[in-house]
Structure 1
Amino acid sequence: MGHAVLLGDSIFDNKRYVGGGPDVVEQLRDVLPVDWSATLLAVDGDITTGVARQLRSVPADATHLVVSVGGNDALGHSHLLQRPVGSVPEALLAFHAAQQAFAHDYATMLDRVVAMGLPVAVCTIYDTPSSEPAYRVIRTALAFFNDCITRAAFARGVSVVDLRLVCDDDGDYANPIEPSVQGGRKITAAIRAFLLPEPTVRHSAVIAG
């Protein structure tokens, strides 16, 4: 028996984007055993600092926490893609400042999540659909933010669901930034693998110390 709680943004809180189809939490409930439950606390539009507010509503019987947040933080720095620069190092330094600010906020958030004393998984920020005109630019820019997520997770012994690998088809997206029903199905399968790992399935191991 278990109780999974979903925290973060519209990657989980995607009901308004699936045209009446099942959202992520509905699909997760469908793939979990009958004695499991799932609660959605993620809020469409929230940034990393908003997770602290969500944590105040975690049910007392929660057994696992899953966090997908950071995409809206990255969107807040999208103006950097239009910033005139005189050299590649100058462009990298502009992203470095944004990366450092996000790294601080994400680490602070994750410390609060880990302090709940429950098993935790975090999700990376997935790529936009490959059919998007700016796909290569966006994918490259998101690497600055995903580096912060993986570093924070690995340093704390937290599991990672890499949505860049999970959502690898244009049909996984309802729009450039939210998951479709198809994408939600793949995301919930990955979450289930974290909650109920199959002993015969190989998983990556990260040695951080």
Structure 2
Amino acid sequence: MGHVILLGDSVFDNARYVPGGPSVIEHTRRALPAGWRATLLAVDGSVASGVRAQLDRLPADATQLVVSVGGNDALGHSALIHNAAAASFAEVLHRLGEICVAFQADYRAMLQALAAKGLPTIVCTVYDAIPGLGLPDLTGLRLFNEVILREAFRAGLSVIDLRLICREAADYASTSPIEPSAQGGGKIARVVARAVAESGGPTAGSRVFA
């Protein structure tokens, strides 16, 4: 029997944003095969460097890890996209490149901490169909997702591509449009359940689930 651990941010820790509706962890427990368990260690607001602290609470009988993080890392730089002045396009690209380098270091360090647990691990991209998301934000998210995919494939990990799962406005919570709604959470949970059942062991190689 499997024991799936959800790590990361409010993509998984979304209960407060779906009052009266099932959260992602509730959906996941329903979607998993009979006898399987799921535990939520993700914490709303977390960034990639914070996932290592979540691992301190890892249950001894955990069998698989699923991580969704990166959105808050990107959100922390939104002021640069919207407000910062630049003398040239090259300067803009240079600043964005520095952000990507820093995020890559944090994300790689997180994956190394996960790998040290010796458990099959799946990571998620950052979804980008958020209602009201403008082209500058969308472009910024693409840079973060490129890092996530590169580092996941470098480590031989499978990926749940949330960009292909949460594509409708109704997939996002009315209380906070950057969080999954009950509908979106259900979609995510069903793919999580399929991915943990099909992705194989730590050395099985990368697959993309959507």
- Using the size of structure 1 for normalisation, the TM-score is 0.91
- Does residue 32 (structure 1) correspond to residue 36 (structure 2)? The answer is no
Contact 2:129 2:163 in 1 (8 A): no
Contact 1:24 1:184 in 2 (8 A): yes
Following TM superposition, by how much is the alpha carbon of 1:195 offset from its aligned partner in structure 2, in angstroms? 1.2
* Post-superposition CA distance 1:104-151 (Å, at most 9, x none): 00000011101111110000111142x41x432211111111111111
Contact 2:159 2:207 in 1 (8 A): no
CA distance in 1, matches of 2:68, 2:17: 17
Whichever residue aligns with residue 136 of structure 1, its letter is: L
Whichever residue aligns with residue 47 of structure 2, its letter is: I
CA distance in 2, matches of 1:57, 1:128: 32
Within 5 Å, which residues of 2 pair with 1:1-209? 1-81=1-81, 82-129=83-130, 131-132=131-132, 134-174=133-173, 175-197=176-198
Q: 4+ residue stretches of structure 1 with deviation over 6 A? A: none
* Post-superposition CA distance 1:57-96 (Å, at most 9, x none): 1111111000001111111111111211233222111111
CA shift in 2, pair 1:205/1:30, >3 Å: closer
Contact 1:46 1:72 in 2 (8 A): yes
- Using the size of structure 2 for normalisation, the TM-score is 0.90
Aligned Cα RMSD in Å? 1.5
Contact 1:52 1:109 in 2 (8 A): yes
Aligned residues: 199
Contact 1:41 1:57 in 2 (8 A): yes
Contact 2:129 2:167 in 1 (8 A): no
Question: SS of the residue aligned with 2:66?
Answer: strand
Contact 1:128 1:177 in 2 (8 A): no
CA distance in 2, matches of 1:87, 1:188: 43
Whichever residue aligns with residue 28 of structure 2, its letter is: L
Following TM superposition, by how much is the alpha carbon of 1:205 offset from its aligned partner in structure 2, in angstroms? 5.0
**Identity level (%):** 52
Contact 1:80 1:95 in 2 (8 A): no
CA shift in 2, pair 1:168/1:98, >3 Å: same
Whichever residue aligns with residue 71 of structure 2, its letter is: G
CA distance in 1, matches of 2:76, 2:95: 14
Question: SS of the residue aligned with 1:112?
Answer: helix
Whichever residue aligns with residue 155 of structure 1, its letter is: R
* Post-superposition CA distance 1:19-76 (Å, at most 9, x none): 2211001000001122100000000011111111100111111110000011111111
Contact 1:172 1:184 in 2 (8 A): yes
Unpaired segments ≥5 residues, structure 1: 199-203
CA distance in 2, matches of 1:176, 1:83: 24
Q: Which residue of 1 aligns with 2:202?
A: none
Question: SS of the residue aligned with 2:57?
Answer: coil
Contact 2:7 2:68 in 1 (8 A): yes
Whichever residue aligns with residue 168 of structure 2, its letter is: D
